[in-house]
Amino acid sequence: MRRSCVLPAVLLFVALFPAPAPALDGFPGVEAWTSRFAETRKVVDRLVVCFDEPSFLGEIAAWNGETFWPVLLWDSDLSPKFARAFRPAEVRFAAPKEGGAALPEALAAVAGAWEISPAKGPADFLAALGERGRAPLGAVLLAEGSPELLGGAALAAGRFHLPLPFPAGGGHEKVVTDREVDGFRKDLAAAIEALGISFRERGDDLDFVTVANDLCFGYTRTDPDAHPGGYTTDDAIARRDDGERWGWVGRLAGGPERSVHMAMCALFLQPAKGLFFSRYDPNDRGGFGLFDPQPALPNIGKFFPVEAIRHPDATLARWREVQWPAGNRFGFVHVNSSGGATDWSTSKGGATYFDVPDSVPAVVHYTHSGSAAAPFRTDTIAGRWMANGAYVYFGSYSEPYLGSFVPPSLLAERAAAGVPLGAAMRLLGGPQYRGSRRMPVGGVEKDVSFDMAAPWKLAYFGDPAYRLTGPAPARAAPEGAASEKKPKRLPKDRPLAGIAVPLLFPDVDPESELKTLARTLKLPKDPALVAGAQRDVVRLHVAALRSRMADGTLYGKKAVGALAFPAAALKTIEAGAASPEAARLLVEFAKEYAAGIALHPESDVAREKPLALPVLVLACSLPHPDGYRKHFFEWVTAAAKDLGIETKALREKVLAAKWLPEAARKAVTDSLK
């Protein structure tokens, strides 16, 4: 079964669905337990941006036992989003630094942040925690060569979680068997036990594990009678031999820049407002009614203002109305839906990953069958949310059944009591909800079993110890000289890394900055750097357009000319760059712009819709990632029809561009008939 939230699948196990338990049932001594998560450092009102990995680790090492501050590894999309959410009193740019950024340097950075002499191994870190009168509370699994090494080191340094070298091999996307995963589980338990840490009960010295190594994400069961579909390694490794959970696991993803973004958001940000979007009938007695978000609002409302859009109002049109044209502005998003990795349902209309908007940094939860089936690809629901800024994402790897999820009311009660989201979003114990059902397996009907609280199919991306706490306390004033708006020097191997730096400063107009850039941009010869330049220039251009789109000024006849590529972007395209990220940005902007026309019925474009032709040309002008192409051209064909633009006219307009890259020309020729 692909859709856990379709009635027939649910009715088969409704008798097994438990009544909501007390919010803190199974959590030991919550008050004492959660008090251990209180942050002892003061946050300095400063943001430091690094353009190379050694300088990033050097800045992390500059934290101390009393103060720390956010440090970013530059990404021209995520870094400005963090800056605008954090709103620092000042921004500083780290000078380039020589040296390495491998596992020894990462551990040295954590040691510096904890103010201990260079540590030789986990025992040294554990001893340092003991001297501070702290238990580790969590462990961060690190490995040489892992793309998430820097994010993991930053999280360990910031949370005082134990940095634990733990190479697993294979990489995130490798799928293994349950036998191999059981080996990982035992190896992890042995590594922790060897350090003398109490961990086998919930609420003891170590309850949280963050995967920042090369551990595989999915596995299959070798038992022929097991429920089909993939299972998540993350739900299996923090369990005892009897299957009972001793801890909760989260995972960083997306490489150095994105994993650092996830860590910094978890350490320094809280949502400013929230959204529940539920297509489930609140009056349903077959299980869906338990997931009505309305009872959750009082508890979640203790942290931030929250809006609930419930069935039958949770339509695709309503989703687009609240999320576009400016993108998602909710720092907490909880969706009740059904579908797979790339599609999800609403009360009226089917949505896809293509309906996931650009976003502020956010905590995102999908009660939904398989939204995290392919989380490392951007053409999936989970992948696109994380690429667009989500620093926590919770969803399922394959069909988990509705009863695997925690209802919103219970999640809200736990969060209000101070329970970290990595625990609050999951079932607590071991084998509780068992059953079987007849279903096709390999073309043969057979009875298969399920056990929703044993190692199962749900996944949590982000810091599992992250808690909702409400508005952050006052920050410490930064010391030293005020920063400049642009770095004086950039690393030789990343000469264009600072192209979109102005986006860190809310008072800087990206449109005027782009005009300046068009006059001064000098492209390197390295094709990879040219592609990076294209991504950053397009990102700056889209940011300029979005700022005008949000207030409606981009829908006037005189403003439509601003949609065209600026000279700086044309330079990068003519140089042969083919950045999939740049194409993704244009695709997302185009869809938001076209949807926004309906929100400005008084505008020139709404009255004369063919004026929107430039935005469709813009979106067709770069070679798109494979996973985006089918959905994009389906959408652009439908959008052209709605806007009164003939597909043939659009096709001819795009193909007439002399600078059109060959890959884009082929995609348009093949797809726009």
d(CA 406, CA 416): 15
- Would you list the domain boundaries of the chain? 1-470, 501-671
With a cut of 70, list the residues of the chain below it in pLDDT. Answer: 1-26, 28-34, 325, 480-503, 506-511, 513, 578
- pLDDT at residue 11 in the model: 29
- pLDDT at residue 56 in the model: 97
Q: Which two tokens stand for residue 261?
A: 């973004």
- pLDDT at residue 29 in the model: 56
Instruction: At 437, give phi and psi (nearest 5°).
Output: -155, 155
- pLDDT at residue 537 in the model: 81
- pLDDT at residue 9 in the model: 36
- pLDDT at residue 2 in the model: 36
d(CA 600, CA 586): 21
Angle, CA 462 vertex, CA 122 and CA 321 arms, to 5°: 170
CB-based burial label for 516 (10 Å; 0-12, 13-18, 19+): exposed
> Scanning the structure block, which residue is given the tokens 């860590």?
263
Q: Which residues of 77-101 are buried (b: 16+ CB within 10 A; e: fewer)?
A: bbbbbbbebbebebbbbbebbeeeb
- pLDDT at residue 496 in the model: 52
Contacts of 488 (CB under 8 A, 6+ apart): 93
For 260-275, the three-class secondary structure string (H helix, E strand, C coil) is HHHHHHHHHCCCCCEE
Summarised one tens digit per residue, pLDDT across range 554-586 is 899 888 888 887 777 788 777 777 677 788 888
d(CA 470, CA 600): 34
Q: Where are the beta strands (DSSP E) in 42-122?
A: 42-43, 46-50, 67-68, 71-73, 90-93
d(CA 554, CA 560): 6
Contact 435, 401 (CB under 8 A): no
Residue 483 per-residue DSSP state: P
Q: Where are the beta strands (DSSP E) in 404-455?
A: 434-441, 444-451
Q: Which of 279, 302, 303, 300 is nearest to 291 (CA)?
A: 279
Contact 548, 559 (CB under 8 A): yes
- pLDDT at residue 256 in the model: 97
- Distance spanning both ends of the chain, measured CA to CA: 35
DSSP bridge pairs for 448: 437
- pLDDT at residue 14 in the model: 31
Contacts of 41 (CB under 8 A, 6+ apart): 63, 65, 66, 67, 68
